Amino acid sequence: MNFNAPHIDYAALSPVLALTVGLCVVLLSGVFKPLKRAAPGLTLITLATTAGLLIWRWDNPQDLVSGALRLDDLAISISLIAILTAGFAVLLSIREPATEEAGSGEYHALLIGSVLGMVLLAQAQNLVTFFVAIETLSIPLYILCATNLRREKSLESGLKYLIVGSLGSATLLYGMAFVYGGSGSTDFAGIAHGIAQKGVLGDPLILVGIGMTAVGLAFKTSIAPFHQWTPDVYEGAPSPITGFMAVATKAAAFAVFIRFFDVALAPQIDDWQPALAVLAAISILVGNVGALGQDSLKRLLGYSGVAQAGYILGGLVVASEDGVNAIVFYLAAYAFMNLAAFAVVIARERETIFGDHIDSVRGLGAERPQLAWPLTISMLGLAGLPATAGFIGKLYLIEALVEGDYTWLAVFIAVGTMISLAYYLRVVAAMWMRPGGEPAATPAIAGASPEADPIDPDAGRRLYLVGPALLAAAATIFFGVIPQPLVEFAQHAGASLF
């Protein structure tokens, strides 16, 4: 009998393997008492190892598992963004009530599990891996959202995310089934081939399938009008998880979004391009207008995330190399800007009785400049003001859009940015400027009670909170002044596709 074992490229699979091993180790560490405190450290080691392995595979694209995965520079860059975000989340989770309540080992193992899903999703090359990966990243997040067991809001957030997320997944899966039915293949390349004869509009099966796939992805990337869950879930989830979710999920989902539309469906671009452009415009509008009246910083960042997803979708619409570069650049910049903001929100959440209410940062400029600066830089960056990575990111996106003949969408981004100033600058004003009115007399924060969230009056000085905040803010400025390294990083990602 002749048995040929399939060739397994362990080198290229090593990042995935490292994460899997790390996940098991961290999970078990929770069981052994002496190792209980080691979970964050072990998680960081796992993430660092994975990042190292990914960088080792840089510029060396490979098809894996008989074409089910592809480790190219797009996958690596997106994975690195996800890992970076996860690393920040680990630091920000130190002393977070949620980690204690859910068990440190379990909490961190779930976090690694979600990262594993993202790393896989960024490499997905067919519908099966696509779906498996997106569930691998989502299910741990459903649980993580609810880990703050004593807060009603957290449980609500987990449940809401589970239900809406499942709806999204179901839509996605249903759409995939249609796509498979219409094209006769689960492979992205096979789908492209199967569609080529009839076109997207020629076959109702394909049209419905692709439409539903897009909707499913829009759920995951919180693109309006499929964003309704975002503010509620962001508000209720433990803040480090919110920060992680806002950036990493978006990044990973955009990676597969790019692969499916910009590569597999590229020949049919005329059929789907206008629809996605309209979606981007709606998202920009809804997100920015929705954020205007928000008093909760996490809700504000949630709506701002909806708007930012709209900007990023713009880069996808044009389906060009520059578009993909712009997406990767923007995602990296967005990671830094958002993490700086979340680090500060978390510090203030633990330090004051105001929770994540905007009152918690009132007068921060005088009280805690080491927190006020990162939040200021983050807000100015998200608003796209110069000398921040956010400005260069917008510049990059607009350049890609104008080049792709979507100048109207570029103008839309400009208009959206204008609206966004009203709420980003409101936060800055609360920190630095004379209060416009009296601060709220009672901390009317639903779900927050002193028993559930013990106040740590020194949280604003803790290195594991201030450090990440300053680091992310410094990176925002650095890549705003010297963007070339990040531009080259993004260009690698784009070049690996086109």
Partner 1 sequence: MINSLLWTPLVFGFIGLLLPRRYAGWWATLGTAVTLGLAISMVIGFNSGAGLQDTVDVNWIPGLGVDYSLGVDGLNVFLILLTTVLWVAGTAFAAFREQERPHLFFLMMLLGETATLGSFLAQDLLLFVLFFDLMLVPFYFLFGAWGTAPEEGKTAVAATLKMIVYTLIGSLLMLVAAIATAIISAQDGGHLTFSIAELAKHPIGEGSQRWIFWFFAAAFLVKMPAFLLHGWMPDAYRAAPLPALAVFSGVLAKVGAYGFLRVVLPLFPAATVEFQEVILVIALASILYGSVMAFTQTNVRLIAGYSSVAQLGFITAGIFALSADGSDGAVLQMVNHGLVVAPLFVIVAILAERSGSEDLREMGGMAMKAPVLAALFLIVTLATLAMPGSANFVGEFYILNGLFDSKIVFAFVAISGVAMSAYYALRLYQRTMHNRKPAGLESREINLRDGIVLAPLVLCILGLALYPQLILKRTDDAVQARVSAVEEQPQPVTSLAKR
Transcribe 425-489 into DSSP letters.
HHHHHHHHS--SSPPPSS---TT--TTTS---TTGGG-HHHHHHHHHHHHHHHHHHHS-HHHHHH
Return phi, psi of residue 357, to 5°. Answer: -70, 150
* Least separation in angstroms between CB 362 and partner 1: 12
Of these, 9, 100, 458, 488, which contacts partner 1 (CB under 8 A)? 488
Segment contacting partner 1 (CB under 8 A): 58-66, 181-189, 235-243, 412-420?
A: 412-420
* Least separation in angstroms between CB 306 and partner 1: 19
455 lies in the site for partner 1, by CB under 8 A: no
270 lies in the site for partner 1, by CB under 8 A: no
Segment contacting partner 1 (CB under 8 A): 14-22, 190-198, 235-243, 400-408?
A: 400-408
Binding mask 352-381 for partner 1 (x = CB under 8 A): -------------xx-------------x-
| Closest CA relative to residue 189, chosen from 70, 349, 273 | 70
* Least separation in angstroms between CB 303 and partner 1: 18
Segment contacting partner 1 (CB under 8 A): 27-35, 154-162, 304-312, 410-418?
A: 410-418
422 lies in the site for partner 1, by CB under 8 A: yes
Separation between Cα atoms, residue 13 and residue 33, nearest integer Å: 32
Q: Is the Cβ of residue 59 or residue 488 nearer to partner 1 in the bound state?
A: 488
477 lies in the site for partner 1, by CB under 8 A: no
Return phi, psi of residue 294, to 5°. Answer: -80, 135
Q: Is the Cβ of residue 246 or residue 490 nearer to partner 1 in the bound state?
A: 490
SS3 of residue 69 by DSSP: strand
Residues 6+ apart with CB under 8 A from 125: 63, 67, 68, 69, 70, 187, 188, 189, 259
Please list every residue from 306 through 325 that binds partner 1, using CB under 8 A.
Answer: 325
Give, as one character, the DSSP assignment of residue 394. H
Separation between Cα atoms, residue 98 and residue 483, nearest integer Å: 37
Separation between Cα atoms, residue 411 and residue 217, nearest integer Å: 25
Of these, 167, 403, 439, 452, which contacts partner 1 (CB under 8 A)? 403
* Least separation in angstroms between CB 338 and partner 1: 20
SS3 of residue 68 by DSSP: coil
Segment contacting partner 1 (CB under 8 A): 41-49, 169-177, 265-273, 399-407?
A: 399-407
CB count within 10 Å of CB 463 equals 10
Residues 6+ apart with CB under 8 A from 210: 175, 179, 200, 265, 272
407 lies in the site for partner 1, by CB under 8 A: yes
411 lies in the site for partner 1, by CB under 8 A: yes
Q: Is the Cβ of residue 164 or residue 487 nearer to partner 1 in the bound state?
A: 487
Of these, 83, 179, 385, 427, which contacts partner 1 (CB under 8 A)? 385
Here the tokens at position 406 are: 């979507």
What are the residues binding partner 1 (CB under 8 A)? 325, 365-366, 380, 384-387, 391-392, 394-396, 398-399, 402-403, 407, 410-411, 413-415, 417-418, 421-422, 425-426, 428-429, 432-434, 436, 483-484, 487-488, 490-491
